[in-house]
Amino acid sequence: MKRTAGKASKWGEGVKITPLGPQLQRAFRYAAEKHDGQGRKSTAVPYLSHLMAVASLVLEAGGDEDMAIAALLHDVVEDCGGMARLREIRRLFGARVAKIVEDCTDSFVEPKPEWLVRKQSYLEAVKRADDETRLVSASDKLHNVRTILADFRNHGDAIWVRFNGKKEGTLWYYRALSDEYARTPNRITRELEIAVRELERLCGGEANSAGEVERLEHGQKRAGASQGTVPSQSSKLSRSASVPRPAASFRTKVGS
């Protein structure tokens, strides 16, 4: 901070407040309407609380109004209507918001593709995402991990039944994401690394060894076999995996 000789400077002096207008309020109402009745991972906590927290983190990290709007809407497409909803977001809130929301979405259809494919595809997409998308995405994951930490401290290993990837897959996923976000560090990515490290410590270490990864994949294959579908070799878990993001199978660009 620049100081003037003989005069103490004040914290925040000369700082310009990020302008927020009626579009953010409109986005809040839109998110509240679309996620009405939804809760957080088998809890009584309204899903809107997560969206509010992510938007808050984005603004605290220097994001602007469009990025905060995208944070509020980042799960609307995945959980509330797919591509039709994305086109609506583009019409109501603009192309920039729609792009961030699209790039933060890991499934555009119901039923969703199997968990391993979705998460590895998302990891690959994050590598190609712009800084705005990465900030919103990392803020989403930071709030997720902080929530998992709080729940784990209260309920222990019982929480993992809520997660499709169970304990091993969840720890693997957030460690892989944190490592990727760390390539372009900021206050959110640093806080995410701290949170992921603490989660790993409480849960007994990183869940990304070859043996643990193989067990997770084997569990997915058994589940798929029981339903008549078996994940392909391309869905194999690896911290360094390079799996193309599914395209025509379940993802269509806005406007098509």
Give the whole-angstrom CA distance, residue 160 versus residue 56: 27
- The per-residue pLDDT of the chain, averaged, comes to 82
Single-letter amino acid, residue 245: R
* Listed residue (35, 68, 100, 116) closest to 254, CA to CA: 100
10 Å CB burial of residue 119 (0-12, 13-18, 19+) is buried
State yes or no: is 179 an active-site residue: no
Catalytic one among 66, 75, 78, 180?
78
Of 28 and 224, which is predicted with more confidence?
A: 28
Mean pLDDT of 32-58: 93
Q: What is the pLDDT of residues 106-118, one digit of tens each?
A: 988 888 889 999 9
Mean pLDDT of 28-57: 93
Of 54 and 1, which is predicted with more confidence?
A: 54
Q: What is the pLDDT of residue 182?
A: 96
Q: What is the pLDDT of residue 214?
A: 60
> Does the pLDDT value for residue 96 go beyond 90?
yes
Domains along the chain with CATH numbers? 22-235 (1.10.3210.10)
Cβ pair 92, 26 in contact under 8 A: yes
Local structure of 251: helix, strand or coil: coil
* Listed residue (103, 17, 15) closest to 64, CA to CA: 17
Catalytic one among 65, 79, 179, 198?
79
Q: What is the pLDDT of residue 235?
A: 36
Provide the H-helix boundaries in 129-208. 131-155, 166-181, 187-202
Mean pLDDT of 205-228: 54
> Does the pLDDT value for residue 231 go beyond 80?
no
For 202, the token pair is 């409480």
State yes or no: is 78 an active-site residue: yes
Q: What is the pLDDT of residues 150-198, one digit of tens each?
A: 999 999 999 999 999 999 999 999 999 999 999 999 999 999 999 999 9
